[in-house]
Amino acid sequence: MSCNLDHVLYDKRNLSDSEKEDEAIRFARRYHDDIAGFLDFICHSLFSVMGTRKETWQFIETGDNSLQRHSNLGTLFAPN
C-alpha cells in the first residue's frame, strides 16, 4: 500500500504512534458494521488501483506511483 497504510486509508503521512492508534480506532468504528461501505472504500476510492495482479503492480511500479496514494488491495475483493 503506497508509502504506508496511514497514507492510503486516512490520506495522512508520518503520524505519531498515538495518532496512528486514534485513526485506526476511528477506522475500525466506522467500518465495524459496514462491510459494504468498507468494500466500496477499498475498491472505489481515488487511491484504488483495480485490474489483474499483473496490471496493478505494473501501474504501482511505474514512475513514482509507489510513492503516491495507491493500493491494489481492492483486487482481493473483486469478483474474478
Distance CA 53, CA 38 (A): 21
Distance CA 2, CA 5 (A): 7
Cell numbers describing residue 72: 491494489
Q: What is the pTM of this model?
A: 0.82
Q: What angle do CA 48, 60, 31 make, to 5 degrees?
A: 25
pLDDT, tens digit, for every residue of 1-53?
545 788 888 989 889 999 999 999 999 999 999 999 999 999 999 999 999 98
Residue 2, φ and ψ in degrees, nearest 5: 40, -145
Tell whether the model's pLDDT for residue 66 goes beyond 90: no
Distance CA 58, CA 19 (A): 32
